[in-house]
Amino acid sequence: MSAMAWLLILVGALTLLGSAALVSVTVKYYWGERGHPPLTGEERRHQKELELQLRKKQIESAEKRPVTPRKPDFFDNRKR
């Protein structure tokens, strides 16, 4: 085989190796440890509704138990 043939084999092998690495990273990102594919329209609406309900509960809880400020005395670390 000539040098040109070896070069083509090397370039082809590296191209296949790089493509395989890209595919494996993409599959692992979407369906592996990190999670799942992006949500569809209906799933996004449902997720948004859940987030709004949870935020509403957070606001109600914050109104029931407001933050108590510290005393103006620097050396008094108690909140009440």
Dihedral of CA 42/47/50/55: which sign?
A: negative
Kindly state the tokens that stand for 77: 């670390």
User: Is this prediction's pTM over 0.75?
Assistant: no
> So what's the pLDDT on residue 62?
92
Residue carrying structure tokens 């609406």: 45
pLDDT means per 10 residues, the chain with 80 residues, are: 91 97 86 72 94 96 85 73
**Which one-letter DSSP state was computed for residue 34?**
T
Length of the chain in terms of residues written = 80
> So what's the pLDDT on residue 14?
97
Asked if 43 and 49 count as a contact pair (C-beta separation under 8 A), the reply is no
